[in-house]
């Protein structure tokens, strides 16, 4: 079940609340996201992709948002989006942003930055680490002053020495300041934050990529991260994402995930899925597709 609000969305997982707070919503051509797909590739799936996930021109509707999990013990914020004042991302629309909406909406949802206990980034790409930090007096400081930032050792090892200027900019602005502030808790793939939230390794997009499994009173959900960016990949897990570091491994990971979660009562919370964002995987007529919660 979910309740649609103007800028945030709440999901009920067995009585536990997960809140989505949006940083930005954009449309992308499939030519940008996928190695060899154009808009016609959506045609077999338009009956369920439109209107929520693909627009009338067959462009992909994507959302960049955080999920805040309110467990019995902690407030856990998963993925920190693009952020403000960042430079050098390689995506012009993500550079030099001055949009106050994210923190305002977070506060409206009931979360001040100091209320967050843990921050987890599914991986260290620019659109998942941005609000890790904010600019104060010319310095990057942690946005969430009381949080432990859970950084995956395997992920940091993959990016620490990257020569790519965009990756270096992301590390310099979004990751290194957290390490220098002493707020990092280094974790492995098998980490559990508490008895309700644990990491689910989903490698391929990046080497240390982890999704997040949430469980409460017999109900469960998975936050995807970029293991799949768009719901079409539930039907087409083999489509290669341009940004996948290991495209064959990423496709295997996606296929296994879809197999494991098809026709099960597990809500899939897509990290870039446009509203309504939380969906179920079902098989209809021999093909996989999305079922919306209220259908």
Supply the minimum distance, in Å, between the C-beta of residue 201 and Zn ion.
17
Record the tokens describing residue 17, joined without a space: 């609340």
Q: What residues between 231 and 290 interact with Zn ion by CB under 5 A?
A: none
- Part in contact with Zn ion (CB under 5 A); list of ranges 110-118, 127-135, 193-201, 258-266: 127-135
Q: Which is nearer to Zn ion, 228 or 279 (CB)?
A: 228
Structure tokens at 241: 């994402």
Residue pair 27/62 in contact (Cβ under 8 Å)? The answer is: yes
Cα 121–Cα 132–Cα 247 angle in degrees, nearest 5: 35
CB of 276 to Zn ion, least distance (A): 19
How far apart are the C-alpha atoms of 55 and 59, rounded to whole Å?
5
State which residue, 116 or 124, has the beta carbon closest to Zn ion. 124
Burial of 43 (0-12, 13-18, 19+ CB in 10 A): exposed
CB of residue 109 to Zn ion, shortest distance in Å: 21
Task: Please identify, using beta-carbon distances, which residue of 225 and 278 lies nearer to Zn ion.
Answer: 225
Kindly tell me which of 19 and 170 has the beta carbon lying closer to Zn ion.
170
Which C-beta is closer to Zn ion: that of 105 or that of 127?
127
Q: Which of 23, 105, 155, 226 binds Zn ion (CB under 5 A)?
A: 226
> Which class for 248: exposed (0-12), middle (13-18), buried (19 or more C-beta within 10 A)?
exposed
Residue 23 binds to Zn ion (criterion: CB under 5 A): no
Contact between 127 and Zn ion (CB under 5 A)?
yes
| Cβ atoms of residues 86 and 126 within 8 Å | yes
155 touches Zn ion (CB under 5 A): no
**Least spacing, CB of residue 173 vs Zn ion, in Å:** 16
Min separation Cβ 110 and Zn ion, Å: 25
Q: Which is nearer to Zn ion, 226 or 236 (CB)?
A: 226
- The residue among 127 and 236 lying less far from Zn ion, judged by its C-beta, is 127
- Could you tell me which residues come within 8 angstroms of residue 224 by beta carbon, excluding any fewer than 6 positions away? 122, 202, 211, 268, 269, 270, 271, 273
User: What is the distance in angstroms between the CA of the first residue and the CA of the last residue of the chain?
Assistant: 10
DSSP state letter for 206:
S
Q: Nearest approach, Cβ of 125 to Zn ion (angstroms)?
A: 5
Shortest Å, Cβ 1 to Zn ion: 26
2-10, 85-93, 208-216, 219-227 -> range binding Zn ion (CB under 5 A): 219-227
Tokens describing residue 294: 């209220």
Cα(169)–Cα(117) distance, rounded to whole angstroms?
26
Q: Which residues bind Zn ion (CB under 5 A)?
A: 127, 226
């Amino acid at each position: 079940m979910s309740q649609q609000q103007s800028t945030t969305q709440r999901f009920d997982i067995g009585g536990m609340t997960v809140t989505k707070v949006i940083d930005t919503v954009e449309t992308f051509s499939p030519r940008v996201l996928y190695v060899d797909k154009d808009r016609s590739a959506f045609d077999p799936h338009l009956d369920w992709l439109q209107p929520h996930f693909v627009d009338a021109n067959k462009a992909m509707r994507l959302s960049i948002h955080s999920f805040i999990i309110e467990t019995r013990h902690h407030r856990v914020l998963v993925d920190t989006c693009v952020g403000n004042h960042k430079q050098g991302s390689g995506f012009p629309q993500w550079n030099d942003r001055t949009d106050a909406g994210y923190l305002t909406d977070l506060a409206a949802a009931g979360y001040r930055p100091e209320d967050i206990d843990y921050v987890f980034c599914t991986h260290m790409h620019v659109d998942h680490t941005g609000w890790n930090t904010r600019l104060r007096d010319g310095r990057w400081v942690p946005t969430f002053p009381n949080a432990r930032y859970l950084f995956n050792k395997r992920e940091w090892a993959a990016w620490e020495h990257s020569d790519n200027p965009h990756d270096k900019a992301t590390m310099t602005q979004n990751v290194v300041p957290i390490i220098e502030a002493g707020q990092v808790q280094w974790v492995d793939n098998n980490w559990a934050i508490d008895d309700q939230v644990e990491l689910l390794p989903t490698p391929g997009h990046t080497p240390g990529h982890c999704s997040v499994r949430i469980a409460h009173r017999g109900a469960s959900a998975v936050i995807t991260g970029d293991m799949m960016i768009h719901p079409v990949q539930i039907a087409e897990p083999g489509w290669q994402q341009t940004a996948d570091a290991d495209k064959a491994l990423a496709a295997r990971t996606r296929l296994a995930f879809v197999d494991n979660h098809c026709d099960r009562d597990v809500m899939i919370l897509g990290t870039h899925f446009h509203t309504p964002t939380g969906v179920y995987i079902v098989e209809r007529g021999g093909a996989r597709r999305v079922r919306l919660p209220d259908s």
